[in-house]
Structure 1
Amino acid sequence: MTLQVNITPNGRMSLPVGIRKRLGLEEGGVVLIEEMPDGVILRTVGQAVAKAQAIAKRYAQQPGVSVDDFLASRHQDSGE
């Protein structure tokens, strides 16, 4: 879905009510803006956390990336 939203001279814009309802922002809230080479992405904090958790989960499933592996590596690097 593509919608046109006007930005005022002082930089304010309004999200349409339907989008605010679907995102749980009916009473206001916080969104994060990610600048991309071809535009911007608005995400709620919950969406951003879910994205970060999905990325972390992919890395956590690789061998040698557990906390124990990290601590063992640090212990080995310190020469103790």
Structure 2
Amino acid sequence: MSTFFVLDVPENITLPEVAAQDPRVWIERIGPYFRISSPGAIVVDRRATGCRHAVWYSAVAGLLDSRITQHDKNALRVESR
């Protein structure tokens, strides 16, 4: 299971919205965070989120039994360990 967390603030809101467009991804609210999970890899296109680079690179608040395998100006890819 691939899982990462994003703080629920206005700057980050498009990241879980774009991730949720994949039918294998589900989003939960856990306190002030979005928990973004999928049985497979989660890939989020930065341009689709409209995030500026500073927000993009600081959006991931944590991981759960997962690792980031791509986090560049194009995409964020999170995979289970």
More strand by share: 2
Larger Rg over CA atoms: 1
Normalising by structure 1, we get a TM-score of 0.23
Higher relative contact order (CA 8 A, sep 6+): 2
Normalising by structure 2, we get a TM-score of 0.23
